[in-house]
Structure 1
């Protein structure tokens, strides 16, 4: 497809995916209203299954649990494959080897090692955090980091004809660094809630506009910058 069709597809995907994620907010309010905070607060990760059990009985509860398990497997497998192939192709081949073909089979080997490393780190982190950590909150932090790094780049690539690679790199780096830095000095970071410098637990409200500002003021007219 051409660039116009690709931009249209991105816009449709943003609306559809965003609509589904907005629905999770209403699910949370529904669980709090129907089940009660006294039941959901000890184990917030079970809010959706308990809401399904209340509305549809044991069968619907089992169905939602099966769907959640299948979704977890699909997401973990997809993210692991995506991260390993991106590292092997984009970073190892294009950055380290400057776009030249590495030794035969080396890229596949790097992808396998990366997948194993990511899996081991994820398992270790999950065990260290324990079952009492709210998964939805961690997902929110991950979304904030991803949105800080990617959302402005996507918006500019769709709506700004002067979008170029140099500004995209500055914007991606600025969003990633700012979001992670704000998390570290937030109440959920290493400083703790009492000594936190940034008062909010989620950095998105500041890091996303910051990356928009960084991206809109960098890269224009830069040497060898490519417009899209």
Structure 2
């Protein structure tokens, strides 16, 4: 895994967060007024879905996070098959949220800050297309917002390398097995959870401390 100091991560997070907050503020009134009190769904992929689920579950307004598979060509895949990297699926997660509490723009901010969107088909020591960075949009508005963020981050050179996040329409989302749901919550002492997810979760909590449940 590429080792970065906590300071460098927090500095990058701060720059992205401040810039993203500006983008959110420009459209927050519109996105909230269009869906006040509406329960909506967003779908992302950002590496291991155990880690992503643990992070997004902490945010106010997020009602449920479900680990699953999408973006591939094999029907009804399972964890072992997806891990071979031959199905085309990404380890993804559905976020059911209350848009009166948290907007899609704010979820995009959390998405970009919760992983490295410049790493192609990997996150840390996890290699393969199943660990790719991706936004699976449910409608045209989500597509436009995702592309807008990527364009703005690129123009402002927030990242030193090119953003490789895939933006594609959601087709079928296959819910992962029960054993894969709430994995960190159920196995906090497991090696991967303790030494990979826990440090990442703590950094996420520091960045989003004002938005935690």
Shared fold (TM-score, shorter chain, > 0.5): no
TM-score by length of 2: 0.27
TM-score by length of 1: 0.26
Whichever of the two has the greater Rg, that structure is 1
Question: Which structure is higher in strand share?
Answer: 2
Q: Which has the higher contact order (CA 8 A, sep 6+)?
A: 2
